[in-house]
Structure 1
C-alpha cells in the first residue's frame, strides 16, 4: 500500500539534495546541455519547477497543464533565466507542492494527470519524487543512478516493469538484479522470452530510457527495445 506521508518526506529529502547540488552551479553551467536531448540544464530546472505547480493543480482538482503548448512554452521561457531566479523558482514551487500535499485530504481519491491518465492521489508524492530524482541525474552534475536510494530504485523498477507488462511491442522478459531480485514484464509481442540481468542501477537506466542497456547481459535473444515513456 502506498504511504503518501513517507513519500512526501522522501520528496523533501530528494529536493534538498537537488537544491544543494544546483546551488553550486553558475549561469554558464545552467546554460550547458543536460543529458536530455535538446534540453539545457536550465530546461530541466524550469521543467521541475513547473511540474511541481502542475501537481499542485492535480491535487486541487484542476487540469495538470492548460495544454501541451503552454507547458512547453513555460519551460522554454524559464530555461534561460539566471541562476538566482531559477533556484528561487525551484525552491518556491517545491514548497507550494509540499504545502498542498501536506494538507488533510482524501488520499484514496482518483486524480487526473496529463493525457487523461488517472491515478490515486496517494501516488502523487511518489510521482513527484520520480521527477526530482531522475531529473537530478539528467542534469549531469555528479548525481548518478547508482546514487539513488535503493528503496526508490526498487519501487521505480516495480512501476516500470508493471507499465510494460503485456505490452504489444515487448516480448516476455524477466528482469533480474545482481542481488537476486527479479521482475517480469512484456509478454505481448511474439518471440522467445528473454532474461535481462544487471545491477539495479543499470536495469533502472534501461527501463527509464537513461541508459542503452549495453552494460546488461541478455539470455534468449536481443535486448528488448522498450517503448517511450
Structure 2
C-alpha cells in the first residue's frame, strides 16, 4: 500500500542529504561531468529543481512541462549557475513541492505526468523521491545505489520491471537475488526466457540504465537483455 505521507518525509530526508553533500563543493565542482552522458553536475541540480516545480504542476492539475523543448531549455539555462544559486533553488523548489503536498487533496485522484502518462496522485511523492535519490547517485560524489534503503530499491525495481513488462523487444525475464529470492518478472512474451540474478542495487542499476548497466549480474538461459532507453 502506498503511504504518501511517509514518502513525503522520505523526499525531505533525501533532499537534505543531497544538499548537505553538495554544500561542501565549489563552483568548479558543479562544472565537472556527472555520470549522465552530456550533463554536468550543474545540469543534474538544475533538473532536480525544475522537476520539483513540474511535480507541483502535476499535483495542481496543470501540465507537467509546457513542452519537451522548454523543459530542456530550462535545464540548460540553469545548469551554469554558481553553487549558492543552485542550492537556494534546490531548497526553494523542495519547499514548494512539500507545501503543495501538505494541502488538502484527494490522493486517489488520477494525475497526468509527461507524454500523457497517468498515475495516482499518491504515487507522485515516491516519483520525486526517485528523482532525488537516483540523481544524487548521478552526481558521482561517492553516493551509490548500494547506499539507498532496501525499501526504495525494492519499490523502484518493481516500478521499472512493470515499465519493461510487455515490451516485445525484451525477452521474458525473471529477476532474482543471490539467495534465490524472486524479485518479479519483466519483458515480453516472446523470445527465450532469461533469469537475471544479482543484489538489489545491481538489479536496479540494470533496470535504470545506471553504472555498468548490469555487467556484474549473472544470467541463465541467455545473455543479459539490452533494455531500451528510459
If the TM-score is normalised by the length of the shorter chain, which range does it land in? over 0.9
Residue equivalent to 2:205 = 205
| Maintained 8 Å contact 1:58/1:113 | yes
Which contiguous aligned blocks of 4+ residues in structure 1 show a shift greater than 4 angstroms? none
Displacement of 1:88? 0.3
Query: Which residue in the other structure is 2:228 paired with?
Result: 227
Q: TM-score, normalised by structure 1?
A: 0.97
1 CA distance for matches of 2:138 and 2:111? 27
User: Cα distance, 1:163 vs. partner?
Assistant: 1.2
Return the TM-score normalized by structure 2: 0.97
- 2:183 corresponds in structure 1 to 182
Equivalent residue number for residue 15 of structure 2: 15
Is the CA contact 1:49–1:94 (under 8 Å) kept in the aligned structure 2?
A: yes
Per-residue deviation, 1:31: 0.5
Structure 2 CA distance for aligned equivalents of residues 50 and 186 of structure 1: 32
Secondary structure of the 1:28 match is helix
- Separation in 1 of the partners of 2:80 and 2:166? 41
CA distance in 2, matches of 1:181, 1:20: 36
Shift of 1:36: 0.3
1:86 corresponds to 2:61:
no
Match of 1:217? 218
C-alpha distance in 2 between matches for 1:71 and 1:182: 34
Matched, 1:74 2:77: no
Matched, 1:56 2:39: no
Question: How far apart are the structure 2 equivalents of 1:2 and 1:61?
Answer: 20
Q: CA deviation at 1:178?
A: 2.3
Instruction: Give, in angstroms, the shift of residue 135 of structure 1.
Output: 0.2
Partner residue in 2 for 1:29: 29
- The 3-state SS of whatever aligns with 2:35 is coil
How is 1:41-190 mapped onto 2 (pairs within 5 angstroms)?
41-179=41-179, 180-188=181-189, 190=190
Whole-Å separation in 1 of the counterparts to 2:225 and 2:56: 36
Give the gaps of 5 or more residues in structure 1.
none
For 2:55, what is the secondary structure of its paired residue? helix
Say whether the 8 Å CA contact 1:178–1:200 is kept in structure 2.
Answer: no
The alignment partner of 2:176 has SS state of strand
Shift of 1:183: 1.2
Distance in 2 (CA, whole Å) between partners of 1:23 and 1:12 is 16
| Distance in 2 separating the partners of 1:29 and 1:83 | 9
Structure 2 unaligned segments of length 5 or more: list them.
Answer: none
CA contact (8 A) 2:174 2:182 kept: no
Q: Deviations over 1:73-117 (max 9, x none)?
A: 110010000000001001110010001011110000000111111
Note if contact 1:137-1:143 (Cα within 8 Å) is conserved in structure 2: yes
Partners of 1:197 and 1:46 lie apart in 2 by 35
Q: Alignment length, in residue pairs?
A: 228
